[in-house]
Structure 1
Amino acid sequence: MTIRLFLAASTLALIAAAPLPKKGEPAITTQTQRSGGVLTPEQTALGFESADLAFEVLPETQSLNGIATLVFRAKAPIARLPIDLDRNLPVSAIAIDGVPLPASAWTNPEGRLTITLPRPIAAGGRVTVRITYGGTPHVAVRAPWDDGMVWSKTPDGRTWFATTAEGYGCDLFWPCLDFPTGEPGIVTLHITVPKGLKAPSNGVLLGVDTLADGRTRWNWRVKTPNTYAIALNVGPYEEVSGSYKSRFGNSIPMAYWYLRGEKPQADKLFAEFAPTLDFFETMIGPYPFGDEKVGVVETPHKGMEHQTINAYGNEYAKAPEGFDWLFQHEFAHEWFGNQLTAANWDDYWLHEGYGTYMQPLYGEWREGRARYAAMMQTQRALITNRKPITQQRVATEEEVYEADKGGAGLDIYYKGSWMLHTLRGLIGDAAFFDVTRLAVYGRPDPKPGNFKPRFGSAKEYEGFVRKVTGKDYGWFFDVYLRQAALPELVERRVGGTLSLSWTVPGGGNFPMPVDVQVAGKTHVVPMIGGKGSLPVPAGAHIVIDPDAKILRRSVAIEETQAWTARERPTP
């Protein structure tokens, strides 16, 4: 299919004369900045079957042109299409089922493009909308902690460009349904870039076309991508590639796109792909996108879990654990984020808690319990407990991720990870990984071809724990997910008896068993009803929870955090 994207000469001259946007420009509306949240009936009525997205990247003017052909299925009767698209990318034409619409048929005052259909679509019917748009997209201030375009230069002065959209959403550069369950069934991408540049992207490469003016068009196809996982990456890339023979019998293509002059570092990072993949397939299950690829691309921002084309910007940093934590973390999201996607941003911990827990788990896989313990303790000092991990309502991404908007912030990473660590110690390894496989794949026996990407929730996860263990652990999730403060273990030693009791926010039951080491021997105190006791010899040395299995209040950590805030205030 030949796609022509052009601007009139007069328009090009005006854009060329205009100053390039600075970081944070052009401004975006509150509507564009939000991702997720409560859906309208019109939004829930849309099933997103496919998207054909053609992009023209224009580095000289830091602008973007696009043609999006979207196919929707009506779950209920619809008369309008509410499609999210930043108003900084004005629409010039829309056609419905091949018939052009008059400009009066659509509006986009705040970043939700609303299209009035020529005729209503009945439930079960399909509609194809072709949207032609273009303009100056929002430039990120500090990607990936905020979102937008990242226009940069390589060390030798060539264009280096990337997109990030996790927080503000896909509507920053293409017309989409900007909520987690708005995933399209299949997306085809056509990315036209200047001569000499490459555009690695999601899924399988269908081919590269060379245009008459020397530019190239990169054509990709990806199945069921996460809404924020579509990514444009443009640069003078070089590539290292190979194939991984999975323990499940399939062969998986692997590729890393990097900048010129970095081959030694690139080869070392690429050498981590296969053992990391083996770890995940052994501990969790099959790589979810084995019929597409394991893809990583170097970006001018830190990183992001773009499905099958993860962004990497860690500058090949070295760490005492001996592997690249950022590569491993973003790769973890292929399972926790892309295969298993939270249906509601309120359950974002399913992505980030698990994604963060995978680094110490990999440390344990590589080196044993000492490395695992050291990495877990590093995470423990970063937990703040200011807000519950979940708020028990439909939330936007910002309302979860950003502490100043009432969210748990980084606790969805570190507290989520420690909650999983505690759950693993409570129910045992076999049950924990059975629960994890059910959450990721929806079945206990995943094999290539017998599962699809799925949506999950905290409520469903609790159900999986109950199903696998045969026990109700609501008390566990009540405290760790739905309360901010941590459980506190109160110790009292009188004579030859050690008495222990749990104090939890809300005063509920918390029968978390506790290991106690007495004179070098470890005993398990059951803590029925949140209380327990143990006879101890007079003068015996006692260590509570010697292997740090339980996420609980630590006065030492609280005092350290308070001291750090006073002595080293954030600039």
Structure 2
Amino acid sequence: MLRTFGRAVAMTSVLALMATAAVAQDRNAAGGPQASAFTLETDQPRTPEQEAVRFDKADVSITVLPEDKAMRGVTVLDFTVLSPVEALVVELDALFDVSDVQVDGQTIPRDRWSNPEGRMTIQLPRPLAAGETTALRIAYGGHPHTARRAPWNGGWVWATAPGGEPWIGTAVQLDGCDLIFPCIDNSNAEPGRVDLHLTAPSNLVAPGNGVFQGKTDNGDGTTTWNWTIGDPNIYAVNVNVGPFEEVSGEYRSRFGNVIPMHYWHLKSDKPEDVQRLFAEFPQMLDFFEAYVGPFPFGGEKMGVVETPYLGMEHQTLNAYGNGYAIEERGYDELLQHEFSHEWFANQLTNWNADDMWLHEGLGSYMQPLFAGWLRGDRYMQRELADQRDGLINRAPVVSRRAQTVDDVYNRPTGPGGDIYSKGSLIAHTLRMTMGDRDFFEALRILVYGRPDPAPGNFRPVTRSTPEYNRIVNEVTGRNYDWFFNAYLYEASLPVLQQSRDGDRLNLEWQTPAGVFPMPLEVEVNGRVRELDMRDGRGSIDTPPGAIVRIDPENKVLRQLDAVDALQAYERAQRDRQRASQ
């Protein structure tokens, strides 16, 4: 998901958002239906009944009714029972009217199911034993939750394209799949497959995730578009309907496969804008496949759809609403960030929202690397410097306890935007400490589950921060617990204390995490030496009048007085501005 904290949003993105908002005609107004507080949380703990089943498949049929800002849906959920159960529990927004519930073809009476606050419990006709399979069918519909400020406060977005046609999208990363269809709204309950059938007025197009399975003219002014998605990230299945045209092409991968590329854009867009953006698709694939590994969904597609909100990382169909901004970076920042999530969110999914930095921090680190890949190290360092200036450091990036997405993003006890920029800078410091060979090998194992990924030899994985720590230790043959303890599990940054003893410069790390043996480069009169700092201390001779620079290439994330002073000044300016209003 795009970031919005501190200095992290470029002004070009802000202006693009404003322009798109004008086109969409107040599309995110909160006048529509609003879901319960429970439904608007995601990644909440599963119930025992949910942990007792494996979510094999969802067959989701949705009819979009633009004039009424409404929908009708029928979803069939297939489960395999892992331990005995007497009920099935799923999440579905209670705003929907449920007209029929069936288990294995048998209708469940109304007094045998309930859906308080959006957690739906269905009493089974008979208990199910381990190894049995079952199919839950739910028919539902109505006016779904309207996004208040998509994508940050998500839901359904009902907009109007410049030509007057309906333009509809969904964005539910921070709110959950239950705003669209019945599911288990937890990152540990991703289905093995989703078949998606989108029915819309025939003058509109309904691109979907995964592989196109054909369309059917229903003879009543509507058309159904059919898609199938393998191993989807649970929040990355989305609904898009609009007056789209399609641009397509093929990318010949360094791994020997051919990847379909598709971009669905509004008919009213300027052709030169469309072609300029589409030209970035193979460029981004080149970079990610070179630095990380194979595009995870090459057997399906690299897809992008233009949306009436800024963006989101929907699997094989990334949402794009940046208005074709031309940015000083030389590439579209939003498109590149959302595309990074095909690796860091959709292929690798966090075990819990507490590990969200694995999505956002590693995804954000791809931006400085991409800038360096395109234009050289000076541009990589500029991106890293911009990220450094916006850190909050109010809470640990990882709390080591189960969290909801709202806990992480929006509550004062959570890290907020630090999961983006601080996560990126942590990744950079880890790379500088480990070296490129070990860093990228550990990254591949984290993302693919193996060091030698190739098309067809991996599937999506679910990961936690301790697992990443373990992988780093195994790849390097060294214990990096001290690194994860200091950077991920503490809010404050390591502090480097300096003192002098004659011509001797003494350096000592201080962090609540304990001994911090981070090696450190020191440049004295143009000559760079590395201090071991094995016990968190080191010293070096500095002749009288010597020019000394500590960490001259900014390899190590640490507390800096100049940044603290800048942030204090900016806070004071904001406080004065608020007081004068």
Amino acid at match of 2:52: A
**Within 1, Cα distance between the matches of 2:72 and 2:572?**
49
> What are the superposed Cα offsets for residues 335-355 of structure 1, whole Å, 9 maximum, x if unpaired?
010000011111111000011
Aligned with 1:492: secondary structure? strand
**Within 1, Cα distance between the matches of 2:326 and 2:457?**
38
Shift of 1:22: 4.9
* Structure 1 runs not aligned, ≥5 long: 1-19
- Are 1:428 and 2:435 an aligned pair? yes
Shift of 1:105: 1.5
Shift of 1:38: 2.5
**Within 2, Cα distance between the matches of 1:75 and 1:560?**
55
**Within 2, Cα distance between the matches of 1:407 and 1:124?**
40
Q: TM-score, normalised by structure 1?
A: 0.95
- TM-align CA RMSD: 1.3
Percent identity over the alignment?
49
Mapped contact 2:45–2:186 kept (Cα < 8 A): no
- Equivalent residue, structure 2, for 1:3: none
- Equivalent residue, structure 1, for 2:220: 213
Aligned with 1:60: secondary structure? helix
> What are the superposed Cα offsets for residues 370-407 of structure 1, whole Å, 9 maximum, x if unpaired?
11101100111111100000111111111112243x21
Amino acid at match of 1:151: W
- Are 1:440 and 2:447 an aligned pair? yes
| One of 289, 294, 298 as aligned partner of 1:286 | 294
Shift of 1:27: 2.5
**Within 2, Cα distance between the matches of 1:316 and 1:496?**
56
- Equivalent residue, structure 1, for 2:88: 81
**Within 1, Cα distance between the matches of 2:263 and 2:231?**
22
Sort the Cα spacing of 1:24 and 1:79 in 2 relative to 1 into closer, same or farther, 3 A.
Answer: farther
Amino acid at match of 2:564: E
Mapped contact 2:28–2:148 kept (Cα < 8 A): no
What are the equivalent positions in structure 2 for 1:152-171 lying under 5 Å apart?
A: 152-171=159-178
What are the equivalent positions in structure 2 for 1:256-271 lying under 5 Å apart?
A: 256-262=263-269, 263-271=271-279
| One of 500, 523, 534 as aligned partner of 2:529 | 523
| One of 536, 540, 546 as aligned partner of 2:552 | 546
- Are 1:100 and 2:98 an aligned pair? no
- Equivalent residue, structure 1, for 2:376: 368
- Equivalent residue, structure 2, for 1:391: 399
**Within 1, Cα distance between the matches of 2:523 and 2:297?**
45
**Within 1, Cα distance between the matches of 2:383 and 2:337?**
13
- Equivalent residue, structure 2, for 1:559: 565
Shift of 1:24: 6.0
What is the count of residue pairs matched by the alignment?
550
Aligned with 1:200: secondary structure? coil
| One of 345, 349, 352 as aligned partner of 1:344 | 352
Aligned with 2:122: secondary structure? strand
Amino acid at match of 2:452: D
Q: TM-score, normalised by structure 2?
A: 0.93
Mapped contact 2:494–2:509 kept (Cα < 8 A): yes
Aligned with 2:416: secondary structure? coil
- Equivalent residue, structure 2, for 1:322: 330
Amino acid at match of 2:524: V
> What are the superposed Cα offsets for residues 299-329 of structure 1, whole Å, 9 maximum, x if unpaired?
0111000000000011111222201111111
**Within 2, Cα distance between the matches of 1:295 and 1:385?**
36
> What are the superposed Cα offsets for residues 175-225 of structure 1, whole Å, 9 maximum, x if unpaired?
000000111111111100112100111000000111112211110000010
Shift of 1:556: 1.4
Larger displacement relative to structure 2 (442-451 or 23-32)? 23-32
Aligned with 1:57: secondary structure? strand
Mapped contact 2:28–2:150 kept (Cα < 8 A): no
> What are the superposed Cα offsets for residues 46-105 of structure 1, whole Å, 9 maximum, x if unpaired?
210011100010111101110001101111111111110000012110111112221112
- Equivalent residue, structure 1, for 2:6: none
Aligned with 2:492: secondary structure? coil
- Are 1:32 and 2:39 an aligned pair? yes
Shift of 1:37: 2.8
- Equivalent residue, structure 2, for 1:4: none
Shift of 1:505: 2.1
Amino acid at match of 1:419: I
- Equivalent residue, structure 2, for 1:62: 69
| One of 148, 151, 154 as aligned partner of 2:158 | 151
| One of 502, 505, 509 as aligned partner of 2:515 | 509
**Within 2, Cα distance between the matches of 1:251 and 1:335?**
18
Mapped contact 2:44–2:185 kept (Cα < 8 A): no
Tell me: higher relative CO, structure 1 or 2? Use CA pairs within 8 A at least 6 residues apart: 2
Sort the Cα spacing of 1:55 and 1:532 in 2 relative to 1 into closer, same or farther, 3 A.
Answer: same
Amino acid at match of 2:553: D
**Within 1, Cα distance between the matches of 2:375 and 2:299?**
31
Mapped contact 2:249–2:260 kept (Cα < 8 A): yes
Structure 1 segments, 4+ long, off by >4 Å, are: none
Mapped contact 2:249–2:261 kept (Cα < 8 A): yes
| One of 193, 211, 219 as aligned partner of 1:186 | 193
- Equivalent residue, structure 2, for 1:130: 137
**Within 2, Cα distance between the matches of 1:416 and 1:397?**
16
> What are the superposed Cα offsets for residues 517-536 of structure 1, whole Å, 9 maximum, x if unpaired?
11111111111210000011
Amino acid at match of 2:125: P
**Within 1, Cα distance between the matches of 2:268 and 2:65?**
25
**Within 2, Cα distance between the matches of 1:92 and 1:418?**
50
- Are 1:479 and 2:474 an aligned pair? no
- Equivalent residue, structure 1, for 2:312: 304
Amino acid at match of 2:568: A
Aligned with 2:38: secondary structure? helix
Aligned with 1:33: secondary structure? coil
What are the equivalent positions in structure 2 for 1:445-456 lying under 5 Å apart?
A: 445-456=452-463
**Within 2, Cα distance between the matches of 1:512 and 1:236?**
55
**Within 2, Cα distance between the matches of 1:21 and 1:261?**
21
- Equivalent residue, structure 1, for 2:10: none
Mapped contact 1:302–1:314 kept (Cα < 8 A): yes
**Within 1, Cα distance between the matches of 2:427 and 2:217?**
49
- Are 1:172 and 2:176 an aligned pair? no
What are the equivalent positions in structure 2 for 1:217-236 lying under 5 Å apart?
A: 217-236=224-243
**Within 2, Cα distance between the matches of 1:270 and 1:407?**
37
Mapped contact 2:200–2:224 kept (Cα < 8 A): yes
- Are 1:254 and 2:267 an aligned pair? no
Shift of 1:515: 0.7
Aligned with 1:463: secondary structure? helix
